[in-house]
Each structure stands twice: as structure tokens, then as C-alpha cells.
Amino acid sequence: MLSLTKRFIKDASGMSAVEFGLLLPVMITSYFGVAEIGNYILADQKVTSVAATASDLVGQSTQITNSGMNDIMASLSILIQPFDPNNATIRITSVKADAMGNTTVAWSDALRTSPRQVGASISLPAGLVPPNESVIMSEITFTYTSVVGMFLQNGITVSDQFYQKPRKTIAVQRVP
């Protein structure tokens, strides 16, 4: 019996297979975890890019029409790809400051969410909008869901805001 035990302890012919079997689940989980982290970072970068582009496109104009706003919203939906644009909400708002520096909504448009109420008071970072001027504010929210399905079954929300001063005028006008 003692010699059988010694022979069993010295036999290492199946050791690699056992080690591989023990490490395989850890390796697969690590691989897909890294892939998920990479996709989440890409989604965050896309959201930031869409927010900056939204404010920039509107800030280049002196006035925005309905068809112009529809074109901007369509182009922003393309920018979020390869992620599903239906998981993103986009709101573009012109915020004006009066002579006292009080900020209110001049106009607002939104895609897959509600626009801000015209004339409503809005709080912005101090000093962002000088008196009697305006700023274009874009707000993007995106729900990132797991590509693989192993992690984040309910998704995680990524959002960003971006502010842009109009380039050619004090305030971008919204016309029908």
C-alpha cells in the first residue's frame, strides 16, 4: 500500500490538464471582463464626443430651424455607433443670462427625452455665461449594456454635459 501511495504522488502525467481545467474559467472571465471594460470606456468616449459635437454644431449657426435640428440629431445618433442610438437621450438647450446674470432657458430640443421648459430658470457653473450673453448646453445620457451578457445585465448609465458659446452671434435663435 505504501509503494502505491508513493507512485501516485510521483506521477505528474495529468497535472497540466488539471491545472488548465482549474485556470480556464478564471482566464475566460478575465478576458471577457477586460473586453467589457474596453467597451465601457469606448461608450464613455462616444458620449463625450456626441456632447461636444452637439454644442459645437449648434454654436456655429446664427439660427437653427426644425430641419436643421433634425439633421443635427440624426448625425449625433450616427456618432454613437457602434452602440445602439436608441439607448441614448440627447438634449440641446440655449441658455441666456439677463443683465443680472440670472440664467434661463431660451429654447430647448430633445431626442428620446423631453426638452427643457422655455423660460425656466437653470443653474449653471458660476461665471459660465456673462450677463446678456448665452451658451449652448448639450446633455447626453447613454445606457451601456453588456455586449457579452456576462456583466452589467441591467446596464450602467453614462452621461456628459458640454457648454459652447455661440461663435457668430450673442445667441443662436431657434426658428420653425
What residues does 63 pair with on adjacent strands? 173
Q: How many domains does the chain have?
A: 1
Cis-peptide into 85, omega within 30 deg: no
In a domain, 8, yes or no: no
What confidence score (pLDDT) does residue 145 get? 87
- At 89-120, the pLDDT tens digits run 999 999 999 999 999 999 999 999 999 999 99
- Contacts (Cβ under 8 Å, ≥6 apart) of 97: 103, 129, 130, 131, 132, 133, 134
In a domain, 4, yes or no: no
User: Measured between alpha carbons, how far is residue 147 from residues 83, 155, 160 in Å?
Assistant: 10, 10, 22
In a domain, 130, yes or no: yes
Q: Report CA dihedral (7, 9, 14, 18) to the nearest 10 degrees.
A: 160
Three-state DSSP state, 60? coil
In a domain, 156, yes or no: yes
Q: State what percent of residues in the chain have pLDDT above 90.
A: 71
Q: Which three cell numbers stand for residue 142?
A: 447613454
In a domain, 6, yes or no: no
Three-state DSSP state, 88? strand
In a domain, 143, yes or no: yes
In a domain, 1, yes or no: no
Distance in Å from the first CA to the final CA of the chain: 94
Provide the domain limits for residue 38. 15-174
- At 40-84, the pLDDT tens digits run 999 999 999 999 999 999 999 999 999 999 999 999 999 999 999
Q: pTM for the full model? A: 0.84
- Of 6 and 138, the structure prediction assigns the larger pLDDT to 138
In a domain, 10, yes or no: no
What confidence score (pLDDT) does residue 11 get? 66
